[in-house]
Amino acid sequence: ISSQAAARSIYGCWTCRVRKKKCDENRPVCSTCVSLKITCYGYCDKPVWMDNGPLQREQASKIKRILSQNNSKQRKERIHNLVTTESSSNNRHWGNDIFVNNHLSSRHDSMPSSVSGGFQDLEATLTRIPNTSTVQKDDGQSACGTSQNEMHLEAIGVSAADLLGSDPPTHAQGLSANEVVKEYPMFPAYLGQSVPGGGIDDDLFMHYLDEVFYVQYPFYNSHCKQSRGWLYSVLKRARSVYYATLALSERHIQSTAESVVLPTLSKKSNYHALASREMELSTREASWSGTACQDRSVEGITCILQLLFFELFAGGTGNWRPLLLTAANLILPHIQARMKSIGPSLTAPDLGTQLPHKRCAYFADDIGTKVLLGSFISFDIIACASTRSPPSLDLDYKHILEVFGIDLGSLFGCANRVMSLIFEIVLLDNWKRDIEKIRQLSVVELVKRGTTIEERLQQEIRYLEDRNSLGSNQELSGSTLSTSQAEITNIFALSALTYLHVVVSGAYPELPEIAESVSKTITALKGLTNPRLLRNLIWPFCVSGCLALEGQQSFFRDLVSKAEIVPSTIGTGLQAYRIIEECWEMRKSCSYNCDWVFIMNKLGCNVLLL
């Protein structure tokens, strides 16, 4: 019998027994349950749900959810109390730039002086500080080692099981922090320095794990239990990612907290600046060779993705494009390095055409790679479709998705095949623009290419409509979609059809093909099981709204209200709605080929419609 098992009494309360925790056997209710603010089921007759089967597992999950909700509520209260208390104290005087520079100087002194191509112009962008805040940390914290780091994460309640998904027993139950890292060796032990912590950092960190992560990836556990062990590993070791995560968590709280907290909280920290400068140092190290280069690229990619989400949370109008280009510089060598480990070296063009499908199994369990690459590909495709600009990398994303076994539907809701078709429209759009510049555009060739894409889109739409009419989970386009995912994918496909017609024929709402696709999109939007899903449909909403006829405009106005998109809502929903309204107004005064990009240029901003 293990010491842990021996410590548990068979006479403990039923709540502690179903939780498999030690009980102090205090009567009538145990102190553990009281302190955790959960129901103590006492010591009397055995409850019906203690069946050593499904009812018991369900009850254990229910109690765990209640505990998670209680902890989340308490963390928010602690954040409120901390920022209120510390704002009234005059004993702390930290300077932003002085702290950040001193905090990083020890690392900077040991950096290689060489800087690889593509990173020289990063400093101006990445040192941008979003607010004039101060930092609640001291340099002494940066000296702690990995073992202290593990102890810190576990002390604030971050166990391996917490990060392995919503139902820990389904995954590697009982793994220690080191065992989790061994299971996810993508991030090596020497990557970056150990992360500091304490005070408000801990609450922001846990707020991210409990809430913000699932705002980023709302479909992460949609049809399979996907582990978050890779996230534990990189957050545990990479300072840049840790600070970017705290910045993201803080931004989320700023959007949802009471107004009285906002000015105080915004002055407490400068996590964004710390993350940006840490990431800048990491990208400078990208000139390292071999494994070190690959490992640094992983840290940089993850940090950049968090900073991209930060820009999204702030409205999607900031400097997201340089971040995306920087990520592209790191993504390509990372893909090449991953492929080298199992086969001959592939050049960039080869990645789009010669990746053998038999390699898919190699990446089956590499969830971290799937999330990183899947996120980047989604960001890049939507960025291109949002601004009608060229992709960041000259790669065939469809083949990358297939080879690495990436399911975009389990990240953002839209299935791979529709996202791949949107990418093909992006390529067609840019081909047309390039060929027009040299006055060699063949309308026949343009229509031929457009028709090929349209036929495949229509096929996907028929599949999706059949699936939605059945109202059941079935195999579709190679992946099982939930009801919400199927609805989202269908609306993306219909809006992609509108985008295709704009590329081929121009942005004229009266064109029969555009009027038809917009009308079908409106019908699909009306059929959403939850209007709040519009928050995951910003690009389709903007494209279809801009091409809506006058009689359809009131629907889009009402849709924003039903989706509860307000100024405090995180994301780019209100920016998209502003573009739509401007497009409608512009169309009244001129007959110009007016689309969403025309309005962005008029307003002087590029909005990432994700």
Query: How far apart, in whole angstroms, are the C-alpha atoms of residue 474 and residue 465?
Result: 12
Tell me what pLDDT residue 142 has: 31
Tell me what pLDDT residue 467 has: 74
Other CB atoms closer than 10 Å to residue 399's CB: what's the count?
17
Out of 31-35, 110-114, 289-293, give the one with best mean pLDDT. Answer: 31-35
Residue 540 has pLDDT above 80, yes or no: yes
State the average pLDDT over residues 367-371. 85
Query: How far apart, in whole angstroms, are the C-alpha atoms of residue 565 and residue 584?
Result: 20
Higher-pLDDT residue of 344 and 413 is: 413
Please report, rounded to a whole number, the percentage of residues in the chain having pLDDT higher than 70.
66
Q: How far is CA 218 from the centre of its chain?
A: 8
Tell me what pLDDT residue 228 has: 77
Other CB atoms closer than 10 Å to residue 369's CB: what's the count?
20
Of the candidate ranges 45-54, 334-343, 597-606, the one whose mean pLDDT is the lowest? 334-343
Q: List Cβ neighbours of 269 (8 Å cut-off, separation of 6 or more).
A: 133, 134, 135, 136, 200, 246, 247, 250
State the average pLDDT over residues 407-421. 94
Residue 544 has pLDDT above 50, yes or no: yes
- Check whether the bond before 112 is cis (ω within 30° of 0): no
Higher-pLDDT residue of 308 and 102 is: 308
Tell me what pLDDT residue 377 has: 96
Structure confidence by residue, pLDDT tens digits, 56-69: 988 998 898 888 88
Query: How far apart, in whole angstroms, are the C-alpha atoms of residue 600 and residue 315?
Result: 14
Nearest to 417 by CA among 432, 437, 397: 397
Residue 116 has pLDDT above 50, yes or no: no
Query: How far apart, in whole angstroms, are the C-alpha atoms of residue 233 and residue 231?
Result: 5
State the average pLDDT over residues 420-426. 97
pLDDT band at 308 (very low <50, low <70, confident <90, very high): very high
DSSP for 213-226, written as a single string: HHHH-TTTTSSS--
Higher-pLDDT residue of 417 and 352 is: 417
Nearest to 195 by CA among 231, 241, 249: 241
Q: How far, CA to CA in Å, does 65 sit from each of 17, 55, 335, 572?
A: 17, 15, 38, 30
Tell me what pLDDT residue 269 has: 52
Tell me what pLDDT residue 446 has: 96
Residue 134 has pLDDT above 90, yes or no: no
Higher-pLDDT residue of 193 and 248 is: 248
Tell me what pLDDT residue 293 has: 61
Characterize 53-81 residue by residue with b for buried, 16 or more Cβ atoms within 10 angstroms of its Cβ, and e for exposed.
Answer: eeebeebbeebeeeebeebbeebbeebbe
Query: How far apart, in whole angstroms, are the C-alpha atoms of residue 142 and residue 270?
Result: 16
pLDDT band at 220 (very low <50, low <70, confident <90, very high): confident
Cα dihedral across residues 382, 450, 394, 230: positive or negative: positive
Higher-pLDDT residue of 337 and 133 is: 337
Tell me what pLDDT residue 246 has: 92
Tell me what pLDDT residue 101 has: 41
Q: List Cβ neighbours of 491 (8 Å cut-off, separation of 6 or more).
A: 521, 524, 525, 537, 540
On the 0-12 / 13-18 / 19+ scale of CB atoms within 10 A, 2 is: exposed
